[in-house]
Amino acid sequence: MFIWEFVAASVLDDIIDWFYSQVVGFLGNFFSEMGNMGAELFQMEWVQSIVLFFSYLAWALYAVGLVVACFECGVEYASGRGNIRETALNAIKGFFAVSLFSVVPVRLYELAVSLQATMTAGITGYGASSIGEVASQALEEYSLIDSITGAASGEYAGIGSVTSPFIILFCLILMAYAVIKVFFANLKRGGILLIQIAVGSLYQFSVPRGYTDGFVQWCKQIIGLCLTAFLQATILVAGLMLFRDHALLGIGLMLSAGEVPRVAGAFGMDTSTRANVMSAVYATQTIVNTTRTIAAVAK
């Protein structure tokens, strides 16, 4: 009777683990659905109208920039320093930039969200098996164990080893903090992507003139945003799965999910909009000053 009670308790533990994995998998799927909501934002008509407006603005700035580039090339060619090949290459770069700046970020973001959903489903096994299959598998595993000692060898080193209620409460608070932080980060990511696309149109004046530093930084911010969308939810789900076996290590992994934007920013992929907007303001001032100069020369 004792052996059967022990086996029943072990099977129940496996079922509880399955429930925990399904709950964590649901959380990962919830984050992926939030990411899909950010991608679906660009399917709304009014958002498409905004993107179309900035696309037209980018084409207009590209045309003006191309004219200014040809003007500058002519002035430099008159003094013997002109490079027609470089000017033509910059014009081609600008054409590709203005054609793809409103399309590639959305597609890249959709890819990152899709990869995050697939990765979290693979980590948690969400939807892969039913409770009956888990119970049958647990019975098959324990039928191969020769003794109770062998069955008791797989003890958990996670939250079960923590006896103090204060430590348990502290761990739960940290877990809730990590989840809420990633939740709000995913909630605003679609809007940030829309702002970055709007700001990216202002760089199209500089690209055909050969000044690509600002646009390259903008590309890094788009990559950093998509990388953050993939890594934050994936690391959080991995930390939640590790929490049941190694509580403190899982908490550390969950808290590290909130540091992904800071680490990406250290490598030049800042996902915030502050630096992006400031560089766009500088680009706008450059456009105004150049336009004034051309108007003065024309007079």
How far, in Å, CA of 55 to CA of 47, rounded? 12
pTM above 0.75, yes or no: no
**Of 30-34, 69-73, 78-82, 272-276, highest mean pLDDT:** 69-73
Helix (H, G, I), strand (E, B) or coil at 146: coil
Give 212-221 pLDDT, tens digit per residue.
Answer: 888 888 998 8
8 A C-beta contact, residue 203 and residue 218: yes
Taking CA atoms, 268 is separated from 60, 159, 189, 220, 262, in Å, by 29, 38, 18, 7, 10
* pLDDT score, position 62: 92
Q: Which two tokens stand for residue 286?
A: 């450059």
Give 150-189 pLDDT, tens digit per residue.
Answer: 444 444 445 555 556 777 777 778 888 888 888 888 788 8
Which of 76-90, 132-146, 209-223, 267-281 shows the lowest per-residue confidence on average (mean pLDDT)? 132-146
Q: At residue 244, what are phi and psi to the nearest 5 degrees?
A: -70, -25
Give 62-102 pLDDT, tens digit per residue.
Answer: 998 898 888 888 878 777 777 788 888 999 999 999 999 99
How far, in Å, CA of 101 to CA of 114, rounded? 21
Q: Name the helix (H) or strand (E) containing 231.
A: helix 213-243
Q: Tokens 């994936």: give the residue.
A: 234
